[in-house]
Amino acid sequence: MLRTKINWIMMISLVVLLGGATWAQAGEEVSSAMFTVNNTWMLCSAFLVFIMHLGFATLEVGLTRAKNTVNILFKNTAIVAIGVLTYALMGFNLMYPGETAAGGWFGFAGFGIGTDAAGLTSAYNVGYTYWTDFIFQAMFAATAATIVSGAVAERVKLSSFLIFSAIYVALVYPVVGMWKWGGGWLDALGFYDFAGSTLVHSVGGWAALVCVLILGPRIGKYSNGTVKAIMGHNMPLAAIGVFLLWLGWFGFNGGSVLSADPGAVSFVFVTTTLAATAGIMGAMMTSWIVQKKPDLSMVLNGCLAGLVGITAGADVVSITSAIIIGLIAGILVVFAVLFFDRLRIDDPVGALSVHLVCGIWGTLAVGIFSTAHSFISQLIGVVVIGVFCSIATVIIFGGLKMVMGVRVTPEEEQKGLDISEHGMEAYSGFQIFISQ
């Protein structure tokens, strides 16, 4: 999703298909009709990415307990607002500071957003206007924070989490994003991340990991030396979430082509879909073999695992590679869930397994399955970003822990956050056993 004006030609030249075909475009000049269709597709992508936020919300609600439902819905609604607003305030201009930051580590083009008339023409970019650019990017930004939300669910203190999200989206996500998509040092290094296996998913995943470690597990999850399942309360919601996320991914990946280029977008649609389906199959087989019974929640995670896995290389790997990447992601995610549980890292929705583990896998897979990209560059990107995000999270979330606390009291946790933090229930009238 590298998108500064200076770099877009380079990017298109990277888009090399199976047989080596390159989609030619008429240089920086496009007809007004072509500009309009490109822009229209980018706006469609923006609304598709938008709907991912509903997907995250329902998935997360579905895989947690009924007594924390209002809290999760509240968090995930607020995050979209916070994410978009902070991105407008400063994130966008931190992430895309312009040519001055080329090859660098940091840049800032000032607070707020705005453009002159040229920002509305193909002089700005052949694929979209300034405003399209902003809205598409802003929809991405909030995603990173939402990933954290799932991992810390059912015990995090609402106010602390909202503050954390605001800071993370305003500062950490755009700075890291600038390294690659803003034309920074990682881009210069040859690191490749098409739509954000690392730049979005791992960036969220690392924060999630650190936050979970700081928070500790939910009460009752690892009692008396055994791992106890805490079952999600609403599987239809979880499934709705995954399908909506998949839907949104057509915009997440398809829009990262940054134009409506027929060959590129349709190819990305195919690789994205095949990876998702292969992820489902991988998780289904693994879960059926390892857990003996086919576990729906694992299969749903498998679908997302495939999607996260293909995100880094959706435009540069072959059809067969896309299936393999998805399949491995689907297998990986099941073991990762079991593995984190063994480590007593309590992640109610599998956010770490899906976004962190498969985000890393997808990024490295570009180095493996695309000859045009170096494994080493990919590895450097993964490691440096991991270290940076983890340290940032330790500072921000650790700081919040000291200043105002990050976890609700055990009584609040046991009563459920809906009653304790919001004074209301999600399913008024329904008889629910809240013994867990």
Q: Catalog residues that contact other proteins under the rule CB under 8 A.
A: 220, 227-229, 231-232, 290-293, 295, 297-298, 334, 337-338, 341, 350, 414, 419, 423-425, 431-436
With CB under 5 to 8 Å by kind, the binding choice for 44 among a copy of itself, other proteins, none is a copy of itself
With CB under 5 to 8 Å by kind, the binding choice for 337 among a copy of itself, other proteins, none is other proteins
Tokens 């297998």, located at residue: 331
Least distance (Å) from other proteins to the CB of residue 425? Answer: 7
DSSP 204: H
Spatial separation of the C-alpha atoms in residues 159 and 163, rounded to whole Å: 6
Spatial separation of the C-alpha atoms in residues 329 and 306, rounded to whole Å: 5
* Nearest-10 crossing angle of helices 319-342, 296-311: 130
- Is 154 an interacting residue with respect to a copy of itself (CB under 8 A)? no
With CB under 5 to 8 Å by kind, the binding choice for 246 among other proteins, a copy of itself, none is a copy of itself
- Is 331 an interacting residue with respect to a copy of itself (CB under 8 A)? no
Find the binding residues for a copy of itself in span 21-40 (CB under 8 A): 21, 23, 26, 31-40
Which uninterrupted H or E stretch holds 18? none
234 Cβ neighbours under 8 A, 6+ residues apart: 61, 62, 66
With CB under 5 to 8 Å by kind, the binding choice for 298 among other proteins, a copy of itself, none is other proteins
Least distance (Å) from other proteins to the CB of residue 293? Answer: 6
Stretch that binds a copy of itself, among 201-209, 272-280, 341-349, 397-405 (CB under 8 A): 272-280
Cβ-based nearer residue to a copy of itself, 163 or 209: 163
DSSP for 24-60, written as a single string: ---TT---HHHHHHHHHHHHHHHHHHHHHHHHHHHHH
- Is 92 an interacting residue with respect to a copy of itself (CB under 8 A)? no
The answer to whether residues 172 and 392 touch, using CB atoms and an 8 Å cutoff, is yes
SS3 at position 305:
helix
Find the binding residues for a copy of itself in span 332-361 (CB under 8 A): none
- Is 280 an interacting residue with respect to a copy of itself (CB under 8 A)? yes
Find the binding residues for a copy of itself in span 196-235 (CB under 8 A): 231-235
Written as one letter, the residue type at 52 is M
In our burial notation (b when 16+ CB lie closer than 10 A, e otherwise), range 71-100 reads: bbbbbbebbbebbbebbbebbbbbbbbeee
Find the binding residues for a copy of itself in span 45-74 (CB under 8 A): 46-48, 50-51, 53-54, 57-58, 61, 65-66, 69-70, 73-74
- Is 293 an interacting residue with respect to a copy of itself (CB under 8 A)? yes
Is 69 buried (19+), middle (13-18) or exposed (0-12) by CB count in 10 A? buried
Least distance (Å) from a copy of itself to the CB of residue 104? Answer: 28
Least distance (Å) from a copy of itself to the CB of residue 395? Answer: 25
With CB under 5 to 8 Å by kind, the binding choice for 270 among a copy of itself, other proteins, none is a copy of itself
Least distance (Å) from a copy of itself to the CB of residue 115? Answer: 8
270 vs 253, 265, 304, 307, CA distance in Å?
11, 9, 15, 12
Q: How many CB atoms are located within 10 Å of the residue 287 CB?
A: 25
96 vs 1, 25, 43, 229, CA distance in Å?
12, 24, 19, 44
152 vs 2, 184, 216, 238, CA distance in Å?
30, 31, 9, 17
Least distance (Å) from a copy of itself to the CB of residue 369? Answer: 16
Least distance (Å) from other proteins to the CB of residue 230? Answer: 8
With CB under 5 to 8 Å by kind, the binding choice for 290 among a copy of itself, other proteins, none is other proteins
Least distance (Å) from a copy of itself to the CB of residue 310? Answer: 14
Cβ-based nearer residue to a copy of itself, 231 or 289: 231
- Is 19 an interacting residue with respect to a copy of itself (CB under 8 A)? yes
Cβ-based nearer residue to other proteins, 51 or 432: 432
